[in-house]
A = this chain, B = another copy of it.
């Protein structure tokens, strides 16, 4: 089986300074992996240096003359940047020359380009963005995280069908426990879309466990494998959690910096605090998958460092290995047939 991933080497806040070392780390840790680094070939050759002969045909440079800016409008990028590293990296997936693409570039442009080049899986109304969050049970998969602001019940149902296949594949579990994000667990709670989506999920073959509240993302009373929501709510929840973690980190640091005694206590506690911090290190959760497209695209955080970008590439490896796109396409077809006949 092939495992070829195209990298938008120029994307993200730091471009090749991050994408190149992360790529080399991934090549080192997985001998089956082949990478195609897309971007300015002169710059890439310079940055790669002696690594080029080391990895031989496992490491290819593919020249692209343009670069999508981080705040460029998706429509402009689509129209004017036909030779951008982002666009070319996605083209490689479309042409079957790569099995997945990873980019830390502008989310809107990446989604618009991916949708334009790769096209949607028939039967899916909208693509969704799925990622994972740490939880007291390990971690939780969540979608949608920002692609769609006004979702219908059908969209939410499709997110559940697609997310279910992804979670089954990458977690190697039979029946992921799926929750629908709501403002209460009782049937009467929530808006119309959520209530209708609940009915669709109840009547499906999915392992739907009911409504869950925001706390279930990190620390609910029971383990949930996949939480489904619209992109507005998902994005706000994700960023709220980021803010809470940042506040707690800031205040914790302040508490240990107060005076000589607290600093001493901090010195003693440092190894433990370090271990704790590593457990919820957001870099180990970097990488969001676009679902609903006919090819695999992984979005890395724009501000990712090499460790974080490596995590995103490794997520792509995992999804390629488990044939996620093929499984989703097949399941979407089955689900649509079931719903039509119901």
Contact = CB atoms under 8 A, between A and B. Distances in A.
Contacts of A247: 134-136, 218-219, 280
A251 B276 contact: yes
Interface stretch (A22-30, A52-60, A263-271, A296-304): A263-271
Contacts of A272: 255-256, 258, 262, 265-266, 269
Contacts of A48: none
A177 to B, nearest CB: 16
A214 B190 contact: no
Contact of A183 (B219, B235, B256, B265): B235
A120 B136 CA distance: 43
Nearest to A188: B73
A248 interface: yes
In the A-B complex, the 9 residue pairs with the closest CB atoms:
A214-B239, A215-B243, A214-B240, A269-B269, A255-B276, A218-B247, A244-B244, A183-B235, A218-B243
A233 interface: yes
A150 interface: yes
A238 B238 CA distance: 11
Interface in A210-240: 213-220, 229, 231-233, 235-240
A205 interface: no
A104 interface: no
Nearest to A264: B268
Interface residues of A, number: 59
Nearest to A146: B183
Contacts of A233: 232-233, 236
A43 interface: no
A265 B264 CA distance: 11
Given A136-B251, A190-B232, 9 more contacts: A134-B247, A149-B191, A183-B236, A214-B235, A214-B236, A237-B237, A241-B243, A247-B280, A265-B272
Contacts of A149: 183, 190-191
A32 interface: no
Nearest to A241: B244
Contacts of A246: 136, 215, 218-219
Contacts of A240: 214-215, 217-218, 237, 240-241, 244
